[in-house]
Amino acid sequence: MKKRLVVLGILLTIISVSAIGCYTVLTHPMVQGEEAEAIDHTGEYYREHCTDCHGDYHNYPYGFYYGYYPNYYWSSPRWGHYYAYPWWWDRYWWDTGENHYDNETVQPPESSEKADRRRGMVPPYVPPSGSTNTPFVLPNTGTDQQSSQGQQPGTVQPTPMPKQDQEKEQPKDKKAERRRK
Amino acid sequence: MQRMHHAVEITISRYFLMIRRFGMWTAAALVFMLMLSSLALAQDESAVYEPTAGNFFVVGARTLAMGGAAIAAVNDATALIYNPAGLARITRIELGGSLTHQRTGNTSQWQFSSSSFSGPHQNNTRFGSANLALPVPTYRGSLVLGFGVNRVQSFDRTMEFSQITPGFEGDDSEEGMESEAGGLYLWSLGGAVDVSPNVSVGAAVNLWSGKDDYTWFYERTWGMPPGYVLKYDDHIVDRYSGFNAKLGVRVQPTRSIVFGGTIDSPVTLTIKEDWNYRTTEDGDVTVDEGSSEYKISLPFSIGAGVAFNLNQFTLAGDVNYTDWTQMEYKRLDDVGEANRQVKRTYRDALRLHVGAEYLIPQIGTSLRAGFYRDPLPFRSDLVGKNRSFVTAGVGFLIDQVMTLDVAWAHGSWELQNFLSQGLTEKYTADRLFVSVAYHL
């Protein structure tokens, strides 16, 4: 019995590792020569607009997945939210879509690994013209509204930029410097 | 050694023993109707009953409502049971659970009797499943881990009979009741990953665990000599444990079609058994009791499924094949005889599942219906009517974070000459499942 389990474990590990290498990617791959411009204030590598590289990305509102979603996800987005909207794109409790960061009693927490990761994984819709912010799907919408682009499920709104982030100077990019060495 | 011998006689040939103990008296009543030679032949061809063979209990209300068709259509954490590759389509952390309620009924009839006897219904409410799916954040593709416990087999049933046989000097009466309760749970740990845009693979490792509580009560009273009574009151408890694995693949070549395939590895179950036999004959009581341990190996099982997604409408179908003649007892003194009985009693079986789901997005409701045929894995002369179920159900999406599914199924089947030559056992079952899933 133990021998079987060991063989099974090894087999599953090999399958899992090779399978992940085939297609599934856990983090955005590094792009040579773009590190400097794609490092955020925590030193993490990211691309704010994945559409810079992936022009058709807005066709996949639930992520970089080439699968198929039923049409009613567009008219009734709560189905899409339940079955297709990745949990790591969720907004935080303080981020209700209203610019309430002026309120001193409600402050976003300091940057953490989780927060940075989630921010980096915001659905990369094409920003509305004239906007410099990344739009996102409002997860708590239960209405049948169409997006501003006319094809994304859910309501698309500009991302509120935390006030302190706007005022704060970008920290020195030590991680990028290390990479360049 | 002595205990092991008992294990063979009592558990492996549990029904065989019953036929011998119970059929010898029945023979007296049938002697006017049957040739002795044919009766002896029938005794030799008695059946072995192994409750873990061909006794699948559907998991999850959505799947039950869709007739058990899930290999390609599964979209929740019960994919651990049906097709681990289906886990890859889960994008949110899912906590799910279910309760099951089953009401079984039975009717018995002797071959040359015009009347039948209906026993009492047996109701069992059980914990059905609890599952957790944890999608790992990915930039592209999908990687999902799953853990859960699911009740995959149900032993719950009752069969009762009663008859009065006219004798030369007074009537003989006999009555008996066979009652069984319990089931098998699978503790599963699995995962799935996208290996291409349209192909997912998955695997699960299962720990089997469960219990079968079996009682057999039989009482016969003779007209001559007056007041002579024979009574059996037997109790057998089996505890099961074992490991196996399940591999699955899910392919979605086009928008509207999904294919799925699964392989269940063989499982060797270790059975720890306690028995207690109490016999009362003309006022004298004898008790025989003991415990033993043996093993049974259940064979490979192969499944395939397809689902057609036409926007709000889904049509799904599954087939699942198992050759039960490959089932094998191990670690018994009389293992040769036990396995010979298995090969004589069992055959291969192909389960068929068909189901449909129509979704009404505006009101967050799904309507479902289905049918499945789950053939009894016994040779054809022991089966009067194969086991089949019609199913229906409804599902609700509540506030985009929770689903509530309710399903009902009604089925029936019939065994003949199984417990005893000339006895037909008819069973009905109504199942009600309620499932809830919450997406964090």
For residue A2, give the chain B residue with the closest CA.
Answer: B243
- Confidence bin at B250 (pLDDT 50/70/90): very high
pLDDT in tens, B170-203: 778 888 898 999 999 999 999 999 888 889 999 9
Q: Which of the listed ranges A14-18, B65-69, B228-232 does the model predict with the highest average pLDDT?
A: B65-69
pLDDT (0 to 100) of residue B60: 94
Name the residue type at position A134.
T
φ, ψ (nearest 5 deg) of residue B366 = -125, 135
- pLDDT at position A47 is 54
- Nearest Cα residue in chain B from A121: B139
In whole angstroms, give the CA distance from residue B125 to residue B90: 29
**Which among B196, B197, B397 has CB closest to A78?**
B397
- Strand duo B229-254 + B199-221: pairing: antiparallel
Q: Work out the average pLDDT over B297-316.
A: 93
Question: How confident is the model at residue A56, as a pLDDT?
Answer: 59
SS3 A41: coil
* A54–chain B Cβ distance below 8 A for any pair: no
pLDDT digits (tens, 9 = 90+) for A140-165: 333 333 333 333 444 334 444 444 44
DSSP B44: H
Task: Please report the pLDDT score of residue B101 as a whole number.
Answer: 96
Confidence at residue A137, expressed as pLDDT on a 0 to 100 scale: 39
CA dist., res. B8 & res. B14, Å (int) = 8
Taking residues A27-53, what's their average pLDDT? 57
- For chain B, the average pLDDT equals 85
The DSSP string of B353-406 is EEEEEEEEGGGTEEEEEEEEE---SB-GGGEEEEEEEEEEEEEEEETTTEEEEE
A42-46, A75-79, B352-356: range with lowest mean pLDDT: A42-46
For the four alpha carbons of B59, B65, B66 and B67, in that order, the dihedral sign comes to positive
pLDDT band at B20 (very low <50, low <70, confident <90, very high): very low
Nearest Cβ partner of B140 from A4, A25, A142? Answer: A25
Are A15 and B245 a contacting pair at CB < 8 A? Answer: no
Question: What tens digit of pLDDT does each residue of B105-133 get?
Answer: 999 888 777 778 888 888 999 999 999 99
Query: Do B219 and B175 contact (CB within 8 A), yes or no?
Result: yes
Q: Given this model, what pLDDT does residue B166 score?
A: 78
| A93 in contact with B, Cβ within 8 Å | no
pTM over 0.90: no
Read off the pLDDT band of B429 (50, 70, 90). very high
Query: CA B309 to CA A79: how far, in whole Å?
Result: 15
Rounded to an integer, the average pLDDT of A54-75 is 64
Closest by CA to B342, choosing from B300, B307, B313, B377, is: B377
> What is the distance in angstroms between the Cα of A23 and the nearest Cα belonging to chain B?
5
Name which residue leads in pLDDT, B366 or A165.
B366
Backbone angles phi, psi at A6, to 5 degrees: -65, -45
Gap between the Cα atoms of B10 and B17, Å rounded: 6
pLDDT (0 to 100) of residue B138: 83
Section B279-301 average pLDDT: 90
User: pLDDT-derived band of residue A50, with 50, 70 and 90 as boundaries?
Assistant: low
Exposed (0-12), middle (13-18) or buried (19+): which is A30, by Cβ within 10 Å? Answer: exposed
Determine contact, residues B122/B179, Cβ cutoff 8 Å: yes
Tell me phi and psi for residue A53, to 5 degrees: -105, -35
Of B141, B359, B361, the CB nearest to A24: B141
**In this complex, which of B91, B195, B252 lies closest to A86 when CB atoms are compared?**
B91
Contact residues, chain B, for A26 at CB < 8 Å: 136-139, 143
Instruction: State the Cα–Cα distance between residues B268 and B244, nearest whole angstrom.
Output: 8
Give dist(CA B293, CA B12) in Å, integer.
11
Q: Does A122 touch chain B (CB under 8 A)?
A: no
Query: Does the structure show a pLDDT above 50 at B233?
Result: yes
Residues of B in contact with A70 (CB under 8 A): 309, 311-312
Contact A82 B401 (CB under 8 A): yes
Mean pLDDT for B405-417 is 93
* Mean pLDDT over each residue of chain A, to the nearest integer: 53
Best mutation target, B62, B93, B95, B138, to test chain A (most A CBs within 10 A): B138
Range scoring the smallest mean pLDDT among A161-175, B137-151, B241-255: A161-175
* Banded pLDDT at A91 (limits 50, 70, 90): low
B8: confidence class by pLDDT, cuts 50, 70, 90: very low
Interval B16-45 mean pLDDT:
39
User: Does A78 score more than 60 pLDDT?
Assistant: yes
The whole-angstrom distance between A167's CA and the closest CA on chain B is: 30
Dihedral sign for Cα atoms in the order B44, B45, B47, B48:
positive
Helices then strands, each counted (H, E), chain A: 6, 2
B15, B21, B22, B26 alpha-carbon torsion, rounded to 10°: 130
Contacts of A178 (CB under 8 A, 6+ apart): none
Produce one character per residue of B46-84: b if its CB has 16 or more CB atoms within 10 Å, e if not: bbbbbbbbbbbbbbbbbbbbbbbbbbbbbbbbbbbbbbb
Band of the pLDDT at B13, cuts 50, 70, 90? very low
Of A19, A81, A121, the CB nearest to B400: A81
Q: Would you state the pLDDT for residue B40? A: 37
Residues of A with CB below 8 A from B439's CB? 82, 87
What is the spatial distance between Cα A138 and Cα B409, in angstroms, rounded to a whole number?
39
